[in-house]
Structure 1
Amino acid sequence: AQDSTAISVEKVIEEAMAESIGLEIDRSALLGLGGLEPRGVIQTEGILTEDLANNPIESYDFLSRANTKLLNANEKPTALIAPSQMFGDLDLLKDKDENPMKPCPSYAGEGPNRPSYQKLSSNQLEDSAVLADWGKLLIGFRTEIQLDVTDKVSDAFERLEVWLRAFIRIDCGIKREHAFCHIKNYGEVAS
């Protein structure tokens, strides 16, 4: 009888490649420069911006301003994608009495017609974040995933290596630029 808890080599390879492909799709959808790769959200002309000018974060005001810009454009944000450091820094904010600072209503999901948006960490972003209606981002697959196994043996057998490459062509597009607000030039939390 086969052990049902055993992990197959095929499954390990499949999961590792899926994770790698997913990270690259995230990177190109957020940061892609266009040309030989899709143009990412941050590189798209006409999106809204909230520039922090590398100033220390002292409050949640910048998130409220970004949210208001989207609402003024008749858009409702569904998620904030930010580096994990930003979420950690927001958790460390203190009021004048050194108590944890209360988040703005739009971030906390309080108040009338203010459901909280999802908070998603992506370390693809270092000094910026994007608050958006992510349903307005389109990702199209132009080809199926192609898996290549190296035909160059050289010393691969001696080193117990097999070289694999996954290839896929995707395009990214935005339905409406004002559904995205790039929060740029994020600095550290104020001490």
Structure 2
Amino acid sequence: MLKLSELLEKRAAAFARMKSAQEEGGDTFDQAETEVRDLDAQIKRARSIDDMERREAGTPLHGDRQLDTEIRSRFSLARAVAGAAGLAVDWGFEREVQQELQQRSGRAAKGILVPTEIFERRVLTSTGDGAAIVPTDYRPDLYISALTAASVVRGLGATVLTGLTGNLEIPREAASPAIGWVAENSALPTGDADFDSVTLSPKHAGAITEWSRNMVMQSSPQVEQLLRNMLARDLALAIDRAAIKGGGANEPDGILSTAGIQTQAYAASIMDTTAEMIAKADVANVDARRSFLTTNGVKKIALKTKDGDGLPIGIPTIFHNEPVTFNNQVPTNLGTGTDEHGLIYGDWSELLIGIWSELDILVNPYEASAYAKGNISIRAMATVDCAVRHAAAFVSATGVEVA
């Protein structure tokens, strides 16, 4: 089968023959025209295949099983790191998965690629407090162990786009033509639809850490789970912070850094402020799937708010029976020289999180300080971006100070 570039070259040559034979007519022109039409059909099919291959999530390693199920049950982060470090471990399956992950991400790894499926495993299977996963000294119940489920913004309903290979532009309708009622024989109002786009481009987050030789050589489930927790926790928190605010050097622009989001000045009380925020979302025709996200400091104020009889009003009433999530990832320093807390309300599906790569790990067993101790230096990176589809879908309260 010819490549797309070869087909395009053949078409250009056939089209040139067709043009040169235009005045002569006869069989030469007809043959060239037939060849061009045939090549057009082949080019169309080749482009479709190329496009599907770019979007393809990958071929399962075993035809009778889904790849993500295979990975969850067999892929070992500890074995992958130990194998990449040159230690004597059997990491054949982990090496086999690398080709699949490179096809997913559309690029070659800088070290080893780690599938995010493995970070979902604990959330899908663990029903306890985590005390049996590692010795109690480690308190694994305090770790965030899945990028998909433990991330706050994803749990609120953010739209996650995976398998990206380049900058992504999503068309957006900014304004529609004006509709008017007119008398008979009168001209209709004129106007054009206005379109722009939301762009996602790769942003990189990562860290360098050091693991002991014993840790990566240890084959117990306890150590394997701890390694996953450590990486998933830090990356999940970094993505959360960027999606909520971001906007710093090399960071994605999160909700609070997006130009055009609606704002509501603090109105006498949390209860009045949330009512005004709901009203603004209603006026802007924001989808009914909405919820609040704010800090634990705001939660404290809400719990202490009392009615005229001195009885607690209650969080459901203060937030008007809308879903609310309290989280320490929400900034508490939005004001200048104050402790202004973030309070966001909106349709969280309007928040886009684009993911270009699986977790990318580079193992360096020869880094000077780690090598001297027999340890291994590890660099973990992920490539993501965030964007808001419609800024008016979110309302941010301003001036929310917590004494």
The normalised TM-score by structure 2 is 0.40
Aligned pair 1:95/2:300, yes or no?
no
Partner secondary structure for residue 28 of structure 1: helix
* 2:275–2:320 CA contact under 8 A, matched in 1: no
Give the alignment of 1:88-167 within 5 angstroms.
88-101=300-313, 107-109=319-321, 116-117=322-323, 119-124=324-329, 125-126=331-332, 127-156=341-370, 161-167=375-381
Shift of 1:18: 0.8
Superposition RMSD on alpha carbons, in Å?
2.6
Aligned pair 1:46/2:270, yes or no?
no
Shift of 1:154: 2.5
What is the identity percentage for the equivalent residue pairs of Structure 1 and Structure 2?
24
Amino acid at match of 2:255: V
Amino acid at match of 1:120: T
State the distance in 1 between where 2:354 and 2:270 align: 38
2:242 to 28, 53, 61: 28
Greater RCO between the two (CA within 8 Å, min separation 6)?
Answer: 1
Partner secondary structure for residue 120 of structure 1: strand
Whose radius of gyration is greater, 1 or 2? Answer: 2
In the TM superposition, structure 1's runs of 4+ consecutive aligned residues that sit over 3 Å from their partners are 4-7, 102-106, 150-153, 157-163
Distance change in 2, residues 1:187/1:64 (3 Å): same
Pick which of 77-86 and 5-14 moved more: 5-14
* 2:362–2:380 CA contact under 8 A, matched in 1: yes
Aligned residue pair count: 176
Pick which of 179-188 and 152-161 moved more: 152-161
Q: Which stretches in structure 1 are left out of the alignment for 5+ residues? A: 110-115
Aligned pair 1:82/2:294, yes or no?
yes
Shift of 1:106: 7.9
Distance change in 2, residues 1:73/1:9 (3 Å): same
Counterpart residue number, 2:226: 12
Counterpart residue number, 1:68: 279
Pick which of 136-145 and 152-161 moved more: 152-161
Distance change in 2, residues 1:153/1:60 (3 Å): same
Pick which of 63-72 and 136-145 moved more: 136-145
Partner secondary structure for residue 168 of structure 1: strand
Distance change in 2, residues 1:130/1:162 (3 Å): farther
* 1:49–1:181 CA contact under 8 A, matched in 2: yes
